[in-house]
Amino acid sequence: MAVRPIRTYGDPVLRLKAKRVAKIDSSIQHLIDDMIDTMRAAPGVGLAANQVGIPLRVAVIEMPEREGVITLINPEIVKRFGERILDEGCLSLPGYVGEIKRSVRVIVKARDRNGKEIRLKGEGLLAQALEHEIDHLDGVLYVDHLESPDKLHKQERPSPEDTQQEEVASEIA
């Protein structure tokens, strides 16, 4: 298991629609383990495979109030309920948050890391994380949901990537 580099805004792999996983073999298991390590090291709530340069439909999510990691292979949103406005950030766009619309609740179908079909109901932060990671797998970043560039804000705490972040903000605007 290893921590992989997280691809950041501007990397073309983030805009690719990820391919479905045909077979859950040892290479997929290894990818999942690396993604969990990477997500925790970042630290983040979720991570999609294309964020570590692998355009496959695999995502992991770990919620503070929930035990264990949720692994999603070939996830699809089946149903969305309600709408809310919230601030969202991303490991691939460090140092920024944007005000966007997300669902209040979602139902997702996928396979777990053992290949078993699962249905997951998510509300609040889990619904947001599910939509966010599935967007990544479709080549969509949260900044694509911004109503206007002025809805993107720098986070309070400066990070070492400040120079890169200023370039990102000017590209988005």
What is the domain-level CATH number for residue 34? 3.90.45.10
Which pLDDT tens digit goes with each residue over 92-142? 999 889 999 999 999 999 999 999 999 999 999 999 999 999 999 999 999
In this structure, is residue 125 part of a structural domain?
yes
Mean pLDDT of the chain: 89
Instruction: Provide the residue range defining the domain that includes 81.
Output: 12-167
Question: How much is the pLDDT for 157?
Answer: 56
Whether 146 is covered by a domain: the verdict is: yes
Residue 155's pLDDT band (cuts 50, 70, 90): confident
Q: How far apart are CA 121 and CA 44, in angstroms?
A: 20
Q: Is residue 103 part of a domain?
A: yes
In a domain? residue 2: no
- Burial of residue 136 (number of CB atoms within 10 Å: 0-12, 13-18, 19+): buried
Q: Is residue 172 one of the residues assigned to a domain?
A: no
In the prediction, which pLDDT does 170 show?
45
Percent of the chain scored above 70 by pLDDT? 90
Find out whether 131 and 103 touch, Cβ atoms under 8 Å: yes
Mean pLDDT of 2-26: 95
Q: Is 67 a catalytic residue?
A: no
Considering its fold, how many domains does the chain have in total? Answer: 1
Assigned domain for 99 exists:
yes
In a domain, 140, yes or no: yes
Query: Among 123, 131, 133, 147, which one carries the catalytic annotation?
Result: 133
Residue 120: partners with Cβ closer than 8 Å, 6 or more residues away: 70, 72, 107, 108, 109, 110, 130
Q: Report the b/e string of 45-59 with b at 16+ CB within 10 A.
A: bbbbbbbbebbbbbb
Q: pTM for this structure?
A: 0.86
Q: Is residue 115 part of a domain?
A: yes
Q: Is-contact 51 92, C-beta < 8 A?
A: yes
Q: What is the Cα 114 distance to its own chain's centre?
A: 21
Q: Which of 13, 18, 172, 173 is nearest to 110 (CA)?
A: 18
